[in-house]
Structure 1
Amino acid sequence: MPRFSLQNATAPFRLMRRAGELGFVARVQLPARRRQQTRGSHSHGSAKWRPVSVLDEWVAKEARPISLRQLMVFGRSLTESRLISSANYVRTELPTRISHRIRDMQQLPYVVVTNPHISEVYDLYYNAFDTFRKVKEIKTIEDNDRFCKTIRSMLKAHLTVIPKLAMGILECSGLMDLKDLDKFMNTILRSRISRRVIAEQHLALTDTFHAPWFSPGAKLSESEFIGEVFLKCMAKEVVERCGETTRDIARRAYGPDVPIPEIKIDGHLDASFPYILSHLEYIIGELLRNSVQAVVEKHQRRKDKETNPNQPPPPIEVTICESPQHVIIRISDQGGGVPHDILPYMWSFSKGPASQQLLANLGQVPKLAATMQELQVDDGHKSHNESKEGTDDFDQSYGSSLASLTSRPPNLRLGMGLPLSRVYAEYWAGSLALHSLEGYGVDAFLQISKLGNKNEQLTTRATMDAV
């Protein structure tokens, strides 16, 4: 076996290429000394040999992107045949999309792919791929119910993926070009969102189909959800709800005596669009939380210097702008802007000088669904799924994107809010931009496609050469 070192860390995973020529892909251990040096290392079992030809068959397939409108078509007049069609779409899409990401991981440098955290993610992905590729065609409701149990189990198991990936990327930031690491992270997270979207949508439709109040073929009104898609998402209401939640988070973090900035909303207050509510809540929640924290901390620093220490902090202003094609939400604060030394790492998952502190913080978060609800600690606010009749067990059973993670402290910073928010925004062909005036404040611009007719933005093939 050839020797590997940090000097050839940027070389492709040659051992996997060589194994691939023999018809297999191997999981290889690091030398003992390297394993001990790698933070959080754990003992691997015996090497796992897997047929690469099976993976090649799936990597050769293209993923089939879907739009919000197409997601709604399955459920707008839900019948047994449409539910089974949805099941078979998910059945073929999940292993296809997972296979592309497995291939991406196989192309990482040797010292990166054998990082304990990334290695665990690789195992999770391959086990999920191996499970889903063996599912037979769904022909009956009973077949679908069994398939849904498998989906729920996998979604719950994969709640560890985001913190594991983030820790792996931080630990490997000196072993690979940062741009390549961020490209890999963005690709794998966008793909993860895509799989959870189609899986959770199908589970929600199945739950609706089995609900006692449901009548097959009945059309849903514009004020309802079709699965996870909210047909008439009101921008003003989402900002108000997220604003109240972030203010509560700030009160818990800073104490009841610290003044919290007001959040003012103006513009086109009736703007609405179809969207997946948990995605929008995460983006708005992260942007408002950053603004609230910045304003509170700047106000605290200035308090002792001002002649009027009781003056309230400046408000955070949210402007909603509606056009025929888009809705734009601008969030403006006077929190002092982004510090100059942090600016280069603002959209990066590898945070440079702050990486060690973020590693320690991520170590406190074993699971992460990446939703605003994960910051809510006993505040009594329920997600839309939890408020639906007969669906409480549904949300808890598979750890959906609306799951709560009450163990996360409200002021624990993970360094991934902004880059992950941009992944969410771009997923449905939107955008997220941020303009900082150091010493004054920040303007964040979130653009959302209003019509719901844009396909999910996917990397449909593996991003590197096939083995």
Structure 2
Amino acid sequence: MAARKASEGLSKLVGDEVQRWGSMKPTGVSLRYMMEFGSRPTERNLLRSAQFLHKELPIRIARRAIELENLPFGLSEKPAVLKVRDWYLDSFHDLRSFPEVKDKADELAFTQMIKMIKVRHNNVVPAMAFGVQHLKKDLSPSFVPTDFEEIHEFLDRFYMTRIGIRMLIGQHVALHDPDPEPGCVGQINTKMSPMKVARAASEDARSICFREYGSAPEVSVIGDPNFTFPYVPSHLHLMVFELVKNSLRAVQERCMDSDKDALPIKIIVADGIEDVTIKISDEGGGIRRSGLSKIFTYLYSTAKNPLEENYEGVHQGVTMAGYGYGLPITRLYARYFGGDLQIISMEGYGTDAYLHLSRLGDSQEPLP
């Protein structure tokens, strides 16, 4: 039914093709497999990787394009969502128009093409956030957030698939790096220091806080500086950045309302047998118990909405908060490689975020 409705909104030819590919089952891969396969980036392996992506990417992209056509409450008709759908259809068309990958020249041309697809989709998250906020604004005030369950489930699937698509493309492209950093296999660092990544992400978050408020609380990182494990540094950076940004805002706004100095935020890195756990603790006053159930939904934010009234493309800068997708997407990044995110709050005191990262690397991508 969903596929039939999708084809009505698309041209018949594209609609049938999208339907056909969208009905195929995607193939998940694990961090360990990506690491082992990428450790030998021979011409033959790069060719095999390109051939896999040539078939896999249209499946994942078609499934999301069909869903983008069939969202409830008129979300599919919002200009920002139509823009995202067009990006997905353009990428599907590019992939399906590309001939079979048979030799090195084909593989190099294919790699350039998927690099362009990755760039095309750079602003998908803020564009979807804009569409959802536009919908929220248009609905009556009596509309309760639980009515959005279908949209939340869609966005979880949509963003998880996006993480996977970007990981697969980014990994294939990075395997072409003629001079990789020591210990790196594509985007995976086999000897990543979580302390080092946490410090860099914290400094980035503090610079945003400085820009917004004119000052920023200190952040201390505690743990073994020599400890390393295999992971994707860009994923960890994004997760820690989002969590520290939330803590900085809470602490900064709490101390602005009092005469007390801003208390530092603590990051503790613990090395377990199964998990590496990173705890981010603040004394920013915590979250009300009534609000805790909403923090992983895409329509909830305690900050004011930074989106402009008119959609004239997507805002490029990073704001402290307000889109309402930082925490849910951070949790998806953690879950992508078998980890998780938990938030524990003491209202009137502060919040602890526990970021669990699986160090076994065996779990398959949790594909919808």
TM-score, with normalisation over the residues of structure 2? 0.89
Q: Which amino acid aligns with 1:313?
A: A
CA contact (8 A) 1:170 1:349 kept: no
Letter in 2 for 1:296: Q
Distance 1:69 1:280 in 2: 17
Distance (whole Å) between structure 2 residues aligned to residue 203 and residue 156 of structure 1: 12
Q: 2:69 aligns with which of 106, 111, 130?
A: 106
Q: Say if 1:273 and 1:451, in contact at 8 Å, map to a contact too.
A: no
Q: Name the structure, 1 or 2, with higher relative contact order (CA <8 Å, separation 6+).
A: 1
The 1:243/1:111 distance shift into structure 2, 3 A limit, reads closer
Q: 1:115 and 2:78 equivalent?
A: yes
Return the match for 2:155 from 185, 196, 199.
185
Tell me, yes or no, if the aligned pair for 1:271 and 1:320 is still in contact at 8 Å. Answer: no
Identity %: 30
Match of 2:218 in 1: 262
The structural deviation recorded for 1:135 is 2.3
Q: Distance in 1 between matches of 2:221 and 2:40?
A: 36
1:106-160, Cα deviation, whole Å (9 max, x unpaired)? 3323722222221221122122112212322212111012112211222222223
SS at match of 1:172: helix
1:138-217 residue pairs with structure 2 within 5 A?
138-173=101-136, 174=139, 177-206=147-176, 208=177, 211=178
What whole-Å deviation, never above 9, does each CA across 1:71-106 have from its counterpart, x for those lacking one?
A: 122321221101101111111110011111122223
**Structure 2 partner of 1:359:** 307
1:317-396 equivalence runs, <5 A: 317-339=266-288, 342-351=291-300, 357-360=305-308, 366=314
Query: Are 1:453 and 2:365 matched, yes or no?
Result: no
2:8 pairs with 15, 26, 50, which one?
A: 26
| Amino acid across the alignment from 1:288 | V
Residue 64 (1) aligns with residue 27 (2): yes
Q: How far off is 1:411 after superposition?
A: 3.7
Aligned to 1:429: 338
Instruction: Summarize the Cα distance change of 1:362–1:317 in structure 2 as closer, same or farther, 3 Å threshold.
Output: farther
Choose between structure 1 and 2: higher helix proportion: 2
Q: Which letter maps to 2:8?
A: A
Is the partner of 2:341 in helix, strand or coil?
strand
Equivalent residue letter for 1:293: R
Q: CA deviation at 1:316?
A: 1.3
CA distance in 2, matches of 1:112, 1:250: 32
1:301 corresponds, among 238, 251, 257, to 257
Q: Can you list the C-alpha shifts for 1:150-183, whole angstroms capped at 9, x where unaligned? A: 1122222222321221111222344893111111
Gaps of 5+ in 2: none
- Partners of 2:72 and 2:253 in 1: how far apart? 41
CA contact (8 A) 1:252 1:410 kept: no
Structure 2 CA distance for partners of 1:409 and 1:102, relative to 1, 3 Å: closer
Is 1:315 matched with 2:264?
yes
CA distance in 2, matches of 1:433, 1:362: 35
- The alpha-carbon distance between structure 1 residues 424 and 365, as it changes in their structure 2 partners (threshold 3 A), is farther
State how far apart, in whole Å, the 2-side matches of 1:364 and 1:250 are. 26
Question: 2:205·2:241 contact (CA, 8 Å) conserved in 1?
Answer: yes
TM-score by length of 1: 0.71
**Contact kept? 2:286, 2:350, Cα under 8 Å:** yes
State the 1:285 CA deviation.
0.7
CA distance in 1, matches of 2:76, 2:211: 39
Separation of aligned partners in 1, 2:14 and 2:217: 57
1:247 aligns with 206
Q: How far apart are 1:362 and its partner, in Å?
A: 9.8
Return the alpha-carbon distance in structure 2 between the equivalents of residues 348 and 316 of structure 1. Answer: 25
Question: Residues of 2 paired with 1:49 and 1:359: CA distance?
Answer: 35
The alpha-carbon distance between structure 1 residues 411 and 113, as it changes in their structure 2 partners (threshold 3 A), is closer
Matching residue's letter, 1:440: Y
Moved more, 172-181 or 225-234: 172-181
Provide the C-alpha distance between the structure 2 equivalents of 1:241 and 1:353, rounded to a whole number of angstroms.
26
The C-alpha deviation readout for 1:317-374, integer Å capped at 9, x for no partner, is: 222221111111111110001246644431111138978x34339958726xxxxxxx
AA matched with 1:233: M
Distance in 2 of aligned mates of 1:110 and 1:242: 37
Q: CA deviation at 1:449?
A: 0.6
Query: Deviation at 1:251?
Result: 2.2
1:28-107 alignment, distance < 5 Å: 48-107=11-70
Alpha-carbon separation, structure 1, partners of 2:303 and 2:207: 26
**Alignment partners' CA distance in 1, 2:302 and 2:245:** 22
Larger Rg: 1
